[in-house]
């Protein structure tokens, strides 16, 4: 499959042409509207997704049905990497939180390539290690830093992973994302807006002053960005240095 004209996925661009061709032999380009389910808990995914744009949430599901967002995946890697490491039953699911597009590859193809190709195996393991480090950093942030810093971290990380200046995040979602009440998010967003750092209206957050947000952010934001920028660094550009604006929202529905 020729992916030269598609937006960049950092993991795919870090591979040699032979390894990439082997991995994407049966890939399909798909549009992923918001809320598209990419995989569900306690089951093996049918497909692996290499995001080209948009943002996927990783959500942990509690025994009583409650859930919490524990991370983002964007164009730096793939959705479903943890399932590739073994047959454990995982109480996580993933959905598209911001619409985008992806290369969708049958799970069995990626699993076989993981075993057959040392280069592919190395890159996927690097990505999964980075994901584990990010989750650990977020856990520490949620324990040690106040709600405003956690919200800023989430906004800046989402922009880093997508390049979008405008993020369609409702107050309910932002509250769930940082583990606080909707009223708290309303107060924080209002303060950030009055300071000219963001614009917020009807579930749309626009990053207006990134430098100002970074100055108010906790150290976790910089740590997470460094983790992303070090991915595959031997032969890949630091994709997350300069976020790009949203170029258009896909609208085609698919069945994940």
Nearest Cα to 161, choosing from 78, 236, 43, 47?
78
pLDDT digits (tens, 9 = 90+) for 14-62: 999 999 999 999 999 999 999 999 999 999 999 999 999 999 999 999 9
Pairing of strands 166-167, 67-73: unpaired
Are residue 65 and residue 152 in the same domain, yes or no? no
Are residue 119 and residue 154 in the same domain, yes or no? no
Within-domain flag for 24? yes
Are residue 168 and residue 116 in the same domain, yes or no? no
Are residue 32 and residue 96 in the same domain, yes or no? yes
Number of structural domains found in the chain: 2
Element housing 173 (H / E): helix 171-178
Nearest Cα to 160, choosing from 98, 208, 224?
224
Are residue 33 and residue 134 in the same domain, yes or no? yes
Are residue 61 and residue 112 in the same domain, yes or no? yes
Average pLDDT, the chain: 87
Are residue 48 and residue 136 in the same domain, yes or no? yes
Q: Supply the pTM of this predicted model.
A: 0.85
**Dihedral Cα 254, 116, 85, 1, nearest 10 deg:** -20
- Which regions of the chain are under pLDDT 50? 1-6, 235-256
Q: Which domain holds residue 176?
A: 144-225
Are residue 119 and residue 18 in the same domain, yes or no? yes
Rounded to 5°, the CA angle 7-29-58 comes to 80
Within-domain flag for 134? yes
Are residue 26 and residue 57 in the same domain, yes or no? yes
Q: What are 98's strand-pairing partners?
A: 55
- DSSP category for residue 79: B
Within-domain flag for 230? no
Are residue 178 and residue 134 in the same domain, yes or no? no
Q: What pLDDT shows up at residue 7?
A: 53
Q: What pLDDT shows up at residue 176?
A: 86
Are residue 37 and residue 53 in the same domain, yes or no? yes
Q: What is the CATH number of the domain that holds 176?
A: 1.10.10.10
Q: What is the CATH number of the domain that holds 40?
A: 2.60.120.10
Rounded CA separation 166/199 (Å): 9
Q: What pLDDT shows up at residue 234?
A: 53
Are residue 126 and residue 154 in the same domain, yes or no? no
CB 134 within 8 Å of CB 126: no
Q: How far is CA 41 from CA 65, 76, 84, 89, 208, in A?
A: 11, 23, 14, 8, 37
Q: What pLDDT shows up at residue 67?
A: 85
């Amino acid at each position: 499959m020729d992916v030269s004209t598609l937006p960049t996925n950092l993991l795919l661009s870090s591979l040699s042409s032979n390894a990439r061709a082997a991995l994407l032999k049966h890939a399909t380009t798909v549009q992923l509207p918001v809320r598209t389910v990419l995989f569900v808990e306690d089951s093996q995914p049918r497909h692996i997704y290499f995001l080209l744009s948009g943002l996927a949430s990783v959500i942990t599901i509690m025994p009583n049905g409650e859930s919490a967002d524990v991370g983002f995946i964007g164009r730096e890697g793939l959705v479903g990497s943890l399932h590739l490491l073994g047959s454990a039953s995982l109480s996580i699911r993933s959905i598209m939180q911001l619409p985008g597009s992806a290369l969708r590859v049958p799970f069995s193809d990626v699993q076989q390539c993981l075993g057959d190709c040392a280069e592919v195996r190395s890159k996927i393991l690097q990505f999964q290690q980075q994901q584990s480090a990010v989750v650990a950093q977020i856990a520490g942030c949620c324990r040690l830093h106040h709600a405003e810093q956690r919200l800023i971290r989430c906004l800046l990380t989402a922009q880093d992973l997508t390049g979008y200046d405008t993020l369609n995040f409702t107050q309910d979602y932002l509250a769930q994302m940082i583990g606080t009440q909707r009223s708290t998010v309303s107060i924080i967003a209002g303060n950030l807006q009055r300071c000219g750092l963001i614009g917020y209206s009807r579930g749309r957050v626009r990053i207006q002053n990134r430098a100002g947000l970074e100055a108010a952010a906790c150290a976790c934001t910089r740590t997470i960005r460094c983790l992303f920028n070090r991915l595959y660094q031997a032969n890949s550009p630091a994709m997350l240095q300069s976020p790009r604006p949203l170029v258009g929202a896909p609208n085609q529905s698919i069945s994940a």
